[in-house]
Amino acid sequence: MNRYDITFIGHMCYDEVLPFGGEPIIAPGSAVLCGAMVTARVGKKTAAIVRMSLDEARINQPMRDLGVDVHVIPAPCTTYSRVIHESENVDERKITLIRTAGLIRIEDIPDFQSHMVHLCGISDSEFDIALIDGLRARGYSLSTDMQSFVRQITPITHEINFGDVADKVEIISKMDRVKLDVVEARVLTGTDDLEKAALIVESWGCPEVVITHSRGVLARVDGQTYYEKFSNRSVVGRTGRGDTTFAAYLAWRLEHSVAESLRFAAALVSIKMETYGPFQGSLEDVRERIRESH
């Protein structure tokens, strides 16, 4: 049985992104794709467990080309997401889930060994408490992105609304690490002050909290707060910012301190935001950006 450094679980999807004042772009996407491309490119043994239509499994090839082991859970369709930026504020987005591949169940997950397992969903249609409990029972070190629960699908319009999560304390208390962005933090905690939000989430029982916003990333670990600014020169690659940041952070946390991991993540995602799509750089590119700007 293969042993992985990091395993990502979630949907693969197509992203249709309409930038403010720009032309629409349609390409394969998802939190899994953004995350796995990062950890593979920086040398971590990576797996991806994705729910999608088998007919479209070819879109996993970029991950496979980087050495990611991909396991497909068959679904009737592949998730399709439309993201509209209606203003110059890149944190303000209208998201519609045109279709979704549906819930991932613990019985869908093959046996595997992994140092970290990250639940990275696009919406609340992917994970539930039963899956979390099943993965914990297998002994994995778990993390999740709270967008997987805060992004809630409106039944008729399929528009994503950001809503509070009834089971948020239970979900977060079962995680070793949790990631949010400033919008999700405000919805869950009532404040968009990053440190105050991190303190609240920490009080719910998660020892390691990471929150992103347009200017940088904050971590709250072992009672200490850390912060690192981004150094990106454009925001053309804004989609996937949080997924990329947290994947880079997880990869570096395997062997490095919180401060070093946050610096690494901020530098890597800054490079990613300057071009559309998943991170395409190298480990040396990240080190150079750290030397230049961090």
Predicted confidence pLDDT, tens digits, the chain (294 residues): 679 999 999 999 998 888 888 788 888 989 999 999 999 999 999 999 999 999 999 999 999 999 999 999 999 999 999 988 878 776 677 889 999 999 999 999 999 999 999 999 999 999 999 999 999 999 999 999 999 999 999 988 999 999 999 999 999 999 999 999 999 999 999 999 999 999 999 999 999 999 999 999 999 999 999 999 999 998 887 778 999 999 999 999 999 999 999 999 999 999 999 988 889 999 999 999 999 999
The pTM (predicted TM-score) of the whole model is: 0.93
Q: Where are the domains of the chain?
A: 3-293
**Other Cβ atoms closer than 10 A to 243:** 32
The correct answer on CATH 3.40.1190.20 for the domain covering 3-293 is: yes
At 161, list the tokens: 């609304």
List the 3-11 sheet strands across, edge first.
69-74, 46-52, 3-11, 113-119, 142-145, 177-181, 208-213, 216-221, 224-229
CA distance 227 to 217: 6
